[in-house]
Amino acid sequence: MDLNPSADDVAFRDEVRSFVREKLPADISEAMLRQKKLSREQTVRWHKILYARGWGAPSWPVEYGGTGWTATQRLVFDDECAMAGAPRLIPFGHNMVAPVIMKFGNQWQKERFLPKILAMDEWWCQGYSEPGSGSDLASLKMTAVRGHDDQGDHYVVNGQKTWNTLGHFADWIFCLVRTSREAKQQEGISFLLIDMKSPGVTVRPIINMHDVHHVNEIFFDNVRVPAENLVGEENHGWTYAKYLLGHERSGFAQIGFHRRDLQRTKDIAKREMLNGKPLYDDPRFKAKIAQLEIKLQALEIMGLKLIWDQEQGALPGPEASIVKIFSTDLVQAIGELAMEAAGPYAQPYQPEAQYLDYAGEFAGPAYAAGLAATHFDNHKYTIFAGSNEIQRNIISKMILGL
């Protein structure tokens, strides 16, 4: 794997940069750069712009509508989009359920679901965690009982999923369900695709500490699901779940977004003053920046190697867990340093303490708006896709044999 950009890579960067500069809507980039949450419409609109250009699924094989880009080109694309303030592609359809359908789904499922995921005509969400079944996912209790009537084979699903991200926007949800209590925990789980408009599905919001509706709990009360929505074989869902989690953890590298946030931190430090000089000129602060830049470079190399391995046909392994730990720790470190740079204006995260009632404007400098809320929110990434503690257990077992 060659880490040096080729002439083609440089030309490709220019192409992506020009495209993003011309096509990225201003309202979307402004919201992203001001660290605001995007609406469903904004997210879908940007994805459809990419889809129209043929860039809707950079990580997919060409046969399913992917770009055929190299690992370096995918990194360049992420970089340019992030620095310009473009949102990342919603991962639940493109990077999670789609690879599972490609690998384990039947032909009907591929033809039915993949084109709509590619075009962002259907928004997907994830149904894994349950109350009491998070990191210990194999203990999940949501049941799916198979039956048959005059309308055909089906499952009746009952139970609850929690910490569901953006399920209030979703058209479909992929769920791990328990189809057997006779086998041991991992062997009694199946992978089911469920229409969110089905009778008996209820979405209830979970409002986070900075008053944002981002996650949900979802209840399933006698929800009827056609048996054709079962992916692969019944009671083999744990195998598909691990495959999906490997792809999810691979997607946590987010190198472009780290680079953008680190640049934002530098820009803040150049505006803030310390003893009559810009904070950025302080040797101690510069040393902290340098440490984060070194870690970001190491993450970039690991992320490229992970993508390159997968392009050669390797399945996501413990290396994905390493990238996930490294990346989620780095996002918190960058956020913490940005708050340090912004000083007291970065501290309050209650909206009523941040904004002037009479004007609706941020009480401090614009670059400090949203720093604290985003930093606190970013702590969730060390739990997503299996907590970092669980990832360390995976690494110790699969690499060190402990």
pLDDT at residue 201 above 70? yes
**The predicted structure's pLDDT at residue 212:** 75
- How is residue 220 written in tokens? 């399933």
Say which range, 12-26, 201-215, 231-245, 388-402, has the weakest mean pLDDT.
388-402
Residues 6+ apart with CB under 8 A from 153: 146, 147, 226, 227, 228
**The predicted structure's pLDDT at residue 328:** 84
Q: Are 218 and 127 in contact (CB under 8 A)?
A: yes
What would the mean pLDDT of 3-7 be, rounded to a whole number? 70
**The predicted structure's pLDDT at residue 257:** 82
Say which range, 51-55, 183-187, 343-347, 352-356, has the weakest mean pLDDT.
352-356
What would the mean pLDDT of 242-250 be, rounded to a whole number? 65
Fold of 251-398: Butyryl-CoA Dehydrogenase, subunit A; domain 3 (1.20.140)
Residues 6+ apart with CB under 8 A from 374: 35, 335
In angstroms, rounded to a whole number, what is the distance separating the alpha carbons of residues 109 and 247?
19
- Tell me the pLDDT band of 11, cut-offs 50, 70 and 90: very high
User: By percentage, how much of the chain surpasses pLDDT 70?
Assistant: 84
**The predicted structure's pLDDT at residue 90:** 86
- Tell me the pLDDT band of 375, cut-offs 50, 70 and 90: confident
More confident residue, 117 or 1: 117
**Whose CA is closest to 70, among 9, 26, 20, 24?**
9
More confident residue, 109 or 90: 109
**The predicted structure's pLDDT at residue 171:** 96
What would the mean pLDDT of 295-299 be, rounded to a whole number? 87
Reported as a single tens digit per residue, the pLDDT across 91-106 is 899 889 999 999 999 9
Say which range, 21-25, 63-67, 174-178, 247-251, has the weakest mean pLDDT.
247-251
Reported as a single tens digit per residue, the pLDDT across 298-347 is 888 777 777 666 666 666 667 777 788 888 888 889 888 988 888 877 76
**Whose CA is closest to 90, among 173, 33, 166?**
166
More confident residue, 9 or 203: 203
Q: How buried is 149 (Cβ within 10 angstroms: 0-12 exposed, 13-18 middle, 19+ buried)?
A: exposed
Domain assignments of the chain as residue spans, ordered by start: 7-89, 124-235, 251-398
What would the mean pLDDT of 277-302 be, rounded to a whole number? 88
More confident residue, 181 or 353: 181
**The predicted structure's pLDDT at residue 358:** 45
Q: Which CATH superfamily is domain 124-235 in?
A: Butyryl-CoA Dehydrogenase, subunit A, domain 2 (2.40.110.10)
**Whose CA is closest to 173, among 189, 152, 157?**
157
Give the C-alpha distances (Å, rounded to integers) separating 52 from 25, 56, 119, 124.
15, 8, 8, 20
What would the mean pLDDT of 131-150 be, rounded to a whole number? 84
In angstroms, rounded to a whole number, what is the distance separating the alpha carbons of residues 138 and 24?
42
More confident residue, 281 or 318: 281
pLDDT at residue 248 above 90? no
Return the active site residues. 248
**The predicted structure's pLDDT at residue 253:** 65
Mean pLDDT over the full length of the chain = 83
Reported as a single tens digit per residue, the pLDDT across 16-74 is 999 999 999 999 998 887 777 788 999 999 999 999 999 999 889 999 999 988 877 88
**The predicted structure's pLDDT at residue 366:** 67
Q: pTM of the entire structure? A: 0.79
More confident residue, 156 or 34: 156
- Tell me the pLDDT band of 247, cut-offs 50, 70 and 90: low
Residues 6+ apart with CB under 8 A from 312: none
Does residue 127 sit in helix, strand or coil?
Answer: strand
More confident residue, 266 or 1: 266
What would the mean pLDDT of 174-187 be, rounded to a whole number? 84
Q: 325-328: long-range contacts at Cβ-Cβ below 8 A with a sequence spacing of 24 or more?
A: 325/388, 325/391, 325/392, 326/295, 326/298, 326/299, 326/302, 327/252, 327/253, 327/254, 327/258, 327/299, 327/303, 327/381, 328/252, 328/381, 328/382, 328/384, 328/388
More confident residue, 381 or 354: 381
